[in-house]
Amino acid sequence: MIPALSVKHAGKTFKRQNAEPLEALKDVNLEIKAGSIHGLLGPNGAGKSTLISLISGISVADQGSIEVFGLDVAKQTQAAKQIQGIVPQEVVVEPAFTVREVLYYFSGMYGVPAGERDARIDAVLKDLALSDKAEERARSLSGGMKRRLMIAKSIIHKPKLLILDEPTAGVDVALRQKIWELVRRLRDEGTTILFTTHYLEEAEQLCDRITLINHGRIIKDGSLKDLQQEFSKNVITFELYDREATALSGVVADGNAYHFPMTDLAKDMRTLTEHYQSNIKSIRSEAVSLEKIFLELTKD
Amino acid sequence: MLTNVFALYAREVKRFQKIWLDTVVSPLMSMVLFLAVFGIVSGDRMVGGLPYLAFVYTGLLTMTMVNASFSNPAFALVISKNLGSIIDIQLAPLPNWGIGIAYALAACTRALLTLAVALLITIWFIPIHGISHPILLLLGLVLTGLEFGMLGVCFGMYAKNFEALTFVTTFIVQPMIFLAGVFYPVASLPGIWPMVSQFNPMHHSVNLLRYATTGYADTAPMLSLGVIVSITVAVFVLMQWLTKKKLNS
């Protein structure tokens, strides 16, 4: 099966005036399965937006290749752009036009026939709860509405690959939930989604797979479960009523808590309960959060 | 692909229609004021057998058209860059030639619309009776609209901000107008200036359109047509190159 996105050995360096060239991406390899939600995470300046600009065909990679559903972005640029929808990080609207006009001309630029546009616009506006704003000037919308208009623009031509560059930045909780709902529904309908966010709990909730990028390099790629397993601390943490009890070999004190290295959860729990018996106040095995993995991997 | 390009063209036409006071009425106001002044001061003066008012009128119409076609894409692109909405045309599956052509055709449309309105308002006061070469006039109008529209696209792609736009309008476009033979025959200029005017693309537009309308020419009309065609082709190539360079980093 052709992957939705295949990035092979991609690199990009920007020339700068009065400064050394900036190597924004180095030997990036990434593959996204069709029909999945893929999270691209990284600190500010990690290279996420540069990678998105290469995938979307705005910039050209200096090295390597990028294919969207088998279409080479550098050689089949128009065809590759046709099947992508992008929500850029920055919220930008055309000040002169109404919401409907923005969508009418933008969908036209993606080849949607004039006769089909109004029906599509109505459907997308309904999906994004913007129907009552259709005839208003885009510039008069609130920040959240402008964000929704950006999303409407990106899906009006029914793309196969949807790229959302921090779509929930600065939006309220209710709208964030709506965006999540839409993203899940689009995935269920077969759209592949590449999602960047600074909200790690968002990536945990939404993404089937996660790629971590830092200093222009992919530093980790896998499902959340894979990452949790790999970075799990493998410890059992417990508290005791009587802190003077004889310590079991391997137990390390950490404030009021104790950590015991875990190899087999059931066996280790049994060892601890047999040793400390009713002295145990609380006991748990820790699942490492994405935030901890992220901080661990991106610390300089 | 034509649907995509046409949508961009339609968007740019819609844009100038939305601000018609600025894009259509303002240039007309300047033209009417020029005509009023020249109408009063020229009296019965003649230029090569042509009433001076008719001479300057054809020049002013061309100037209005050139200004409209140059400024439409130049302003639209510089504004888009400043707002960040230029990303719409970077993301959309539009070929580079298509982007340039859509903007240039929209510029040409605005120029022809402005010209048509200007004619409707002012033709009644001008001593011009009939058109000498209608087909040449039509060709000259379309070519001039496209030529300066594409120059506007080139500049809009190249310019980073409004200061650059003001600079070009003040220090390049305005001197070109005054050396184009809008207000007087270029042959009446002193020294090397008649020769310099031959290198001014605007002079050839003024000359061709004046000849096509009235039959009067400063320079051989076919030379002007050849220059306009050559510049239009050259600017098309430049526009392609600049669009690719500026929109695909």
The CATH number of whichever domain residue A291 belongs to comes to 3.30.70
**Same structural domain for residues A264 and A291?**
yes
**Same structural domain for residues A76 and A48?**
yes
d(CA B213, CA B108): 19
CB contact under 8 A, B15 and A56: no
Q: Is A252 left (phi over 0), alpha (psi -120 to 50) or beta?
A: beta
Q: For position A226, what pLDDT does the model report?
A: 77
Cα radius of gyration rounded to whole Å, chain B: 18
Q: How far is B100 from chain A (nearest CA, A)?
A: 14
CB contact under 8 A, B4 and A111: yes
Q: For position A287, what pLDDT does the model report?
A: 64
Which of B 76-105 lie inside 8 A of A, CB atoms? 83-85, 87-95
Question: How many domains does one find in chain A?
Answer: 2
**Same structural domain for residues A225 and A239?**
no
Q: For position A232, what pLDDT does the model report?
A: 63
**Same structural domain for residues A191 and A243?**
no
CB contact under 8 A, A106 and B92: yes
**Same structural domain for residues A287 and A220?**
no
- The rounded average pLDDT for each run of 10 residues, N- to C-terminus, in chain A (300 residues) is 92 86 90 94 87 93 94 94 93 90 96 94 93 93 91 95 89 85 93 89 87 89 77 79 83 85 82 89 77 71
Q: What residues have CB less than 8 Å from B144, skipping those under 6 apart?
A: B62, B65, B66, B69, B111, B205, B208, B209, B228
CB contact under 8 A, A81 and B93: yes
Pair of tokens at residue A225? 């479960």
**Same structural domain for residues A154 and A294?**
no
d(CA A68, CA B243): 24
**Same structural domain for residues A215 and A293?**
no
d(CA A29, CA A34): 16
The answer to whether the beta carbons of residues B107 and B148 sit under 8 Å apart is yes
d(CA B28, CA B68): 10
CB contact under 8 A, B18 and A58: no
d(CA A98, CA A141): 10
Q: How far is B12 from chain A (nearest CA, A)?
A: 10
Q: Which domain holds residue A44?
A: 5-229
Q: For position A200, what pLDDT does the model report?
A: 79
Each residue of A168-188: pLDDT tens digit? Answer: 877 788 888 888 899 999 999
**Same structural domain for residues A94 and A240?**
no
Which of A 70-99 lie inside 8 A of B, CB atoms? 77-79, 81-82, 84, 86, 88, 90, 92-97
**Same structural domain for residues A16 and A139?**
yes
Among residues A229, A247, A266, the one where a domain terminates is A229
Residues of chain A found within 8 Å of residue B11, distances taken between Cβ atoms: 97, 105, 108-109
**Same structural domain for residues A28 and A135?**
yes
Q: For position A249, what pLDDT does the model report?
A: 85
The dihedral sign for the CA sequence A276, A281, A287, A292: negative
Taking only the tens of pLDDT, chain B with its 249 residues reads: 889 999 999 999 999 999 888 878 888 888 888 888 887 777 778 888 888 888 999 999 999 999 999 999 999 999 999 999 999 999 999 999 999 999 999 999 999 999 999 888 888 777 777 888 999 999 999 999 999 999 999 999 999 888 888 888 888 888 888 889 998 898 888 889 889 899 999 999 999 999 999 999 989 999 999 999 999 999 999 999 999 988 876
Look up the CATH number of the domain holding residue A213: 3.40.50.300
**Same structural domain for residues A108 and A241?**
no
**Same structural domain for residues A224 and A246?**
no
Q: Is B69 left (phi over 0), alpha (psi -120 to 50) or beta?
A: alpha
Among residues A214, A229, A244, the one where a domain terminates is A229
* Domains of chain B, residue spans: 2-247
